[in-house]
Amino acid sequence: MKQDAILFIDVDDSRHVRYHYREPHFAAAREQGLLCLTAGVAGRHHLQRLRDDSDAVFLLDSLNEHAILDLVAQLEEQYALRAIFCQAGHPSAQGEVGCIVAQVCQRLGLVYSCPEGIAACNNKFLMRRVLDKQGLRSVPFALCSNEQALKAGADRVGYPLIAKPPFGGASAFIKKCSNWEALRSHYAQFRREHGTASNSDFYGCAHTLAGEDGQHAHIPGCSMLLEGYISGIEGSVECVIVGEQIHALLINEKLVLTERSGTVLENLLISPPASFTEQQCKQIRQYAVDCLRAVGLTNAVVHFEFRMTAEGPVAIEINPRLGGLYVNAAFRDLAAIDPYQLYIAVLLGKPGVTAQLDGAAQKVAAAGQRYSMLAVYPEHSGHFKGIEGLHYLDNQACVLEYAQQSAGSYIDADIEEHYLLKCWAKVDDAAHAHALHDAVRQNLRVILDNPVAG
């Protein structure tokens, strides 16, 4: 008798794990009696990582639809494959895995996310183009692949503007620029150093893309997206899509953001939000639903980022995956949902998911307790040795959980986001969240070698 199984396609072969995604989903699947299989491309440097939590690991000659379908044909002799999935928000130099897996699932009759929707989320230029064509609130934008196009694009978009790669992870090479000199310097840094980012694989496979003006953008490494700067309070909406039905569940408000020379850091968040009125929250949720419907995403857990302007919410980006930091804990403590179990249920096409989400929305609406996520980042580049003073967190009743990044790696603090520590806590209000954040900074000491000595 064949054993029921799920298959995860993994493209994260970086020295340090970029995301913990496969592992918690596998744990949720095993609770339902499923075997957990993993496939990756041959030649990986960190194969043991896959073997540590997989019932079996399979290696592909390349990452494409044909290779996965060939593997599935072999696996079906022993397993009954119930679902195939991946971290859809990780475009890779090996291929845009989210779209490839979606196309495979579509061909096999398994639950899938719309591949065009995934593409529109991962490529922020395509997202802007979709929102613009659908008449949804957005900002001016331009995709540029050389300095001449960059100058012309900036003149069209206007200053201040945000310059960032159209693909990317960990807020790498994102900068607010107020004049041409700042933009030109940032673009030169991006061209020079984009390959050094620990999340450089998120820039996707090499390809060209036609812009609105007929210019061809070269991805990765040459192209940069310019967007009009969005002024307002930043937040995120955590959404779940079942089929085509969109549930905008949680809203997080970002209380503290820090701009570095080449990245923007999220230091402190609160949920439910402290600054948005009930009517504004309703407007934010509806706008998120409208944007997700426009890009066409289906069957997904989504992290939707926005800023609340005087005219209403404006999208920053749409991520076709569960949010980072402690978004999983926000689902658990505010909505009484395990997001990993939920996504497995969506992939398996289980009944009752919509009713569960409706009940979760009622719990969120009635929530009387606020929670806060906070992150500690490096103040400068260097070799990360660890953090002293963690006993302070252990002694705080409001701190529910925290996690430290593994020590031993060199960190470039200026070009991308590296949270050395993340924390999830109960708070009374925004003032309490700010006080906890300040206390953590005062009582914990990051040990980071001097960048020159390191």
Q: What is the CATH number of the domain that holds 299?
A: 3.30.470.20
Residues whose CB is less than 8 angstroms from the CB of residue 33 and which lie 6 or more positions away in sequence, other chains included: 4
pTM: 0.92
Residue 454's pLDDT is what?
Answer: 39
Residues whose CB is less than 8 angstroms from the CB of residue 1 and which lie 6 or more positions away in sequence, other chains included: none
Q: Is residue 9 part of a domain?
A: yes
DSSP symbols for 173-207: T-EEESSHHHHHHHHHHHHHHGGGSTTGGGG-SSE
Cβ atoms of 5 and 26 within 8 Å: the answer is no
Q: Is residue 65 part of a domain?
A: yes
Residue 384's pLDDT is what?
Answer: 85
Q: Is residue 289 part of a domain?
A: yes
Residues of the chain with pLDDT under 50: 453-454
Which structure tokens are listed for 429?
Answer: 């209000």
Report the chain's C-alpha Rg in angstroms.
22
**What is the count of structural domains for the chain?**
3
| Separation between Cα atoms, residue 391 and residue 389, nearest integer Å | 5
- In the DSSP assignment, the letter for residue 215 is P
From 228, 245, 269, give the residue that closes a domain.
Answer: 228
Q: Is residue 134 part of a domain?
A: no
Q: Say yes or no: 377 and 414 in one domain.
A: yes
Query: Residues 343-363: pLDDT tens digits?
Result: 999 999 999 999 999 999 999
Query: Residues 123-177: pLDDT tens digits?
Result: 999 999 999 999 999 999 999 888 998 999 999 999 999 999 887 665 678 899 9
Q: Say yes or no: 219 and 259 in one domain.
A: no
Structural domain range at position 94: 3-112
Residue 453's pLDDT is what?
Answer: 43
Q: Say yes or no: 220 and 340 in one domain.
A: no
Of the candidates 419, 426, 381, 382, the one whose C-alpha atom is nearest the C-alpha of residue 401 is 426
Residue 152's pLDDT is what?
Answer: 94
Residues whose CB is less than 8 angstroms from the CB of residue 20 and which lie 6 or more positions away in sequence, other chains included: none
From 198, 228, 258, give the residue that closes a domain.
Answer: 228
Which structure tokens are listed for 83?
Answer: 């679902």
Residue 44's pLDDT is what?
Answer: 86
Question: Tokens 């994260």 sit at which residue?
Answer: 12
Residue 437's pLDDT is what?
Answer: 95
Q: Is residue 414 part of a domain?
A: yes
CATH of the domain at 180: 3.30.1490.20
Residue 304's pLDDT is what?
Answer: 97
